[in-house]
Amino acid sequence: MDSLRTEHSWFVAEMIRVTTDMWRKGWDERNGGNVSLRLTKDDIASYLPVWNQPRVRKLTEPVQGLDGECFLVTGTGAYFRNVEREPEQNLGVIRVLAGGEAIEILWGFGTDGGPTSELPAHLKSHYASQSREGAPKRVIMHCHATNLVSLSYVLELTTSNLTRALWEGSTECLVVFPDGIGTLEWMVPGTDSIGDATAALLAQHPLALWPFHGVFASGTTLNEAFGLIDTVEKASELLVKTISMGGPRQTISTQNLIDLARHFGVKPLPSALALNGWRLAPHPAEKPRKEAALFGTAGR
């Protein structure tokens, strides 16, 4: 039945759309980036009868709390520019088996492919992000957002400092992500340890920065997760341009942020709101270490 072909499903169509948009944005060069969407029983009920040749893959370590859950995931080595042309080669549906020690591939990934190498970070983040308030988070999205990654080379890398800089980068940012953007130290990607660290951040924040690499976002829908990254990337672009012009001469003040939060009924990350502006990292050539540049003053 042609109408039941998986590539004609709403979830594959939406994944094609978002991965194509991410590639056109320049966030996912070559096989960079990965996305996973949690599927409900209703989403897949019509397709289960035709997914009759599952392939089992063992995970590098067990994942907790996801037994029986199904996900649409981008494939290892998949080029986002090819997803629209060959969805069944570059996407796949997986199900976590009982005990969380293995998955079965229900559909996709060609004849011998598999899910993204960063699947541990995705699965652990799916579980952890459910602890945040609001509607259930069904999406984990990773990409190499150009301007945000650029900022990781020049900003003092703390969750509070990065969050404050982005809030001041564009007025809408505090409203879109009041819980801020978590920040890791640099870690080897694709490992269980970076998966654990990312999941811990996404239990508290909607976004997590991998310095010098990219960003992870969680969302209730593909559209929401994409919108989070798009907002962060726009603010990052504004900051990159502002820093290149010598830094801000005026900016959004602490009181402005308080007023903004009150008007839109959001609760800003306290540690970021408490800062008097944001800092650049010290230049490595500075010896002895000088105080990092502070963009902001008390009472601004």
Q: For residues 152 and 209, is the Cβ–Cβ distance under 8 A? A: yes
Does the annotation list 142 as a binding residue?
yes
Quick one: pLDDT at residue 3? 52
CA distance 93 to 106: 5
- Give the sign of the dihedral formed by CA 208, CA 13, CA 39, CA 59: negative
pLDDT tens digits, the chain, 300 residues: what are they? 445 789 999 999 999 999 999 999 999 999 999 999 999 999 999 999 999 888 999 998 899 899 999 999 999 999 999 999 999 999 999 999 999 999 999 999 998 899 999 998 999 999 999 888 778 899 999 999 999 999 999 999 999 999 999 999 999 999 999 999 999 999 998 888 999 999 999 999 999 999 999 999 999 999 999 999 999 999 999 999 999 999 999 999 999 999 999 999 999 999 999 999 999 999 877 655 555 567 764 434
Q: Are both 135 and 38 inside the same structural domain?
A: no
Q: Are both 99 and 149 inside the same structural domain?
A: no
Q: Are both 284 and 136 inside the same structural domain?
A: yes
Q: Are both 161 and 206 inside the same structural domain?
A: yes
Among the candidates 101, 117, 133, a domain finishes at 117
Number of independent structural domains in the chain: 2
Would you name the residues annotated as active-site residues? 118
Structure tokens at 178: 């009041």
Quick one: pLDDT at residue 53? 82
DSSP letters spanning 35-102: EEEEEPHHHHTTTGGG----EEEE-SS--SS-TT-EEEEEBTT--HHHHTT-HHHHEEEEEEPTTSSE
Model's pTM, two decimal places? 0.92
Q: Are both 219 and 240 inside the same structural domain?
A: yes
Q: Are both 129 and 48 inside the same structural domain?
A: no
| Residue labelled with tokens 């002895």 | 288
Q: Are both 275 and 299 inside the same structural domain?
A: yes
Beta bridge partners of 95: 70, 104
Quick one: pLDDT at residue 190? 84
Please give the residue range of the domain that contains residue 283: 119-300
Q: Are both 101 and 129 inside the same structural domain?
A: no
Quick one: pLDDT at residue 18? 98
Nearest-5° Cα angle at 6, 24 to 41: 105
Does the annotation list 122 as a binding residue?
no
Nearest to 129 by CA among 194, 216, 212, 43: 216
Q: Are both 76 and 225 inside the same structural domain?
A: no
Quick one: pLDDT at residue 1? 43
Quick one: pLDDT at residue 295? 73
DSSP 196: H
Cβ neighbors of 159 (< 8 A, separation 6 or more) are: 180, 181, 182, 183, 201, 205, 269, 271, 272
Quick one: pLDDT at residue 111? 85
Q: For residues 177 and 231, is the Cβ–Cβ distance under 8 A? A: yes
Please tell me whether the peptide bond between 62 and the residue prior to it is cis, using omega within 30 degrees of 0. Answer: no
Number of H helices, E strands in the chain: 12, 11
Does the annotation list 283 as a binding residue?
no
Quick one: pLDDT at residue 283? 82
DSSP 279: E
Among the candidates 102, 117, 132, a domain finishes at 117
Give the CATH number of the domain where residue 18 resides.
3.40.225.10
